[in-house]
């Protein structure tokens, strides 16, 4: 189980039309995969997110020289050391080593983690609602309609990047057009102060199928989150950039949040991510992980969710939904997963159970700084 080779796969796709949220517009999508191979020939895949040149440099000069010759089974020690140079790169290393260990044992990820408790998992269609066009609302409604045609029964739309009134009219149009067909969540990307966030209460009351209000405030506004939670008719969600269970524990101890949303690529490894998931069960709150940026990280996330005990005894509420990117992004198809009517069936082979699409790896391979500023 000695590590013999590390290959990196930086991928870049320029979007045909920019889209975005309150943080700005995306003009390209990126993906950074790694493949670790042991001397016995077992291979494991991992994914990380950061600026592509930075990831290439840290792997070339730091992480790859360190990993060569190490034992794949020493993944906790190896990942901890890698996180000294780049925590997000360490998350990818953690995925790849976990994949190797599972494959060597002949186990799926779920079986490695104690067994799959949910045969199928719900996912929601996640949108970047804004485009650089005065008719952006029409474009948003069109995308939502296409997701409905694909069988999605839950969606998340963006607010916070336009005036309150524009976003209010957008949510009203979404509710009027699709409200009887799907559940709706909104994500503000930390755009508001407390007073503005509170204005949404009367609007959410008109949307009975609202799932949650995501990240209305910056995450350090703990007192404001706690007050907002007592005033809202919908759950408060957030935490995609939190780096570890201890940070979620602080929010939960202060009773400031209803749904935690860890992201496996923003934490320093698979094991710390799973600790965050289990924390939801310890505190008796829900968890709906953030996983907008990659198909492999989404697969790891789905497998981890499949191993969680049910959060509720209510029919149809045994396990919380996972985010599913439905925007223009060829990398969401890199690791194929069976998706039907908004439900996912996991692969049952050893490790991650699937191999990446080789044509996508070749077609979108990034080979320089141009176009990645």
Hey, which residues are catalytic here?
Answer: 158, 290
How far is residue 218 CA from its own chain's centroid? Answer: 19
**Residue among 242, 171, 157 at smallest CA distance from 203:** 171
End-to-end Cα spacing for the chain:
38
Q: Could you say which DSSP state residue 158 is in?
A: E
Are residues 49 and 33 in contact, defined by beta-carbon separation less than 8 angstroms?
Answer: no
- Strand-pair partners of 286: 259
CA distance 129 to 148: 16
Residues 6+ apart with CB under 8 A from 367: none
Q: At what angle do helices 87-105 and 270-283 cross, to 10 degrees?
A: 90
Q: What is the DSSP letter of 254?
A: T
Question: Is there a contact between 228 and 196 (Cβ–Cβ < 8 Å)?
Answer: no
Rounded distance between C-alpha atoms, residue 45 and residue 80, angstroms: 18
Element (DSSP H or E) covering residue 304:
helix 295-306
Q: C-alpha distances in angstroms, 9 versus 29, 31, 342?
A: 14, 8, 29
- Residues 265 and 91 sit within 8 Å (Cβ to Cβ): yes
CB atoms closer than 10 angstroms to residue 304: 23
Largest CA distance in the chain: 61
Closest C-alpha among 241, 239, 232, 215 to residue 158: 215
- Give the up-direction half-sphere exposure of residue 146: CA atoms within 13 A in the CB hemisphere: 11
Here the tokens at position 223 are 């007192």
Rounded distance between C-alpha atoms, residue 197 and residue 210, angstroms = 15
């Amino acid at each position: 189980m000695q590590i013999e080779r590390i290959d990196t796969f930086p991928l870049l796709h320029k979007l045909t039309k920019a889209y975005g949220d309150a943080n700005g517009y995306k003009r390209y999508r990126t993906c950074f995969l790694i493949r670790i191979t042991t001397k016995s020939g077992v291979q494991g895949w991992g994914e990380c997110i950061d600026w592509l040149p930075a990831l290439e440099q840290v792997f070339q000069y730091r992480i790859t020289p360190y990993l060569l010759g190490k034992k794949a089974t020493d993944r906790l020690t190896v990942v901890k050391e890698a996180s000294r140079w780049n925590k997000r790169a360490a998350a990818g290393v953690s995925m790849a080593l976990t994949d190797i260990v599972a494959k060597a044992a002949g186990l799926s990820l779920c079986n490695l983690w104690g067994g799959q408790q949910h045969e199928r998992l719900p996912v929601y269609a996640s949108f970047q609602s804004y485009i650089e066009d005065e008719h952006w609302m029409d474009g948003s409604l069109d995308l939502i309609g296409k997701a409905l045609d694909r069988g999605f029964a839950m969606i998340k739309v963006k607010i916070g990047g336009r005036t309150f009134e524009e976003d209010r009219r957008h949510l009203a149009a979404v509710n009027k057009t699709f409200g009887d067909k799907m559940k709706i969540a909104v994500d503000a990307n930390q755009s508001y102060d407390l007073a503005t966030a509170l204005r949404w209460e009367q609007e959410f009351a008109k949307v009975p199928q609202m799932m949650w209000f995501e990240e209305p405030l910056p995450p350090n506004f703990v007192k404001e989150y706690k007050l907002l939670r007592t005033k809202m008719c919908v759950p408060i969600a957030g935490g995609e950039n939190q780096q570890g269970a201890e940070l979620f524990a602080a929010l939960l101890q202060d009773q400031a949040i209803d749904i935690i949303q860890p992201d496996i690529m923003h934490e320093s490894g698979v094991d710390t991510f799973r600790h965050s998931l289990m924390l939801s069960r310890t505190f008796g709150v829900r968890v709906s992980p953030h996983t907008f940026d990659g198909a492999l990280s989404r697969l790891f996330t789905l497998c981890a969710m499949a191993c969680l005990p049910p959060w509720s005894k209510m029919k149809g509420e045994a396990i919380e939904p996972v985010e599913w990117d439905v925007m223009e992004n060829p990398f969401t198809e890199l690791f194929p997963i069976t998706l039907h009517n908004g439900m996912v069936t996991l692969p049952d082979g050893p490790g991650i159970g699937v191999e990446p699409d080789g044509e996508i790896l070749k077609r979108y391979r990034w080979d320089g700084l141009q176009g990645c500023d």
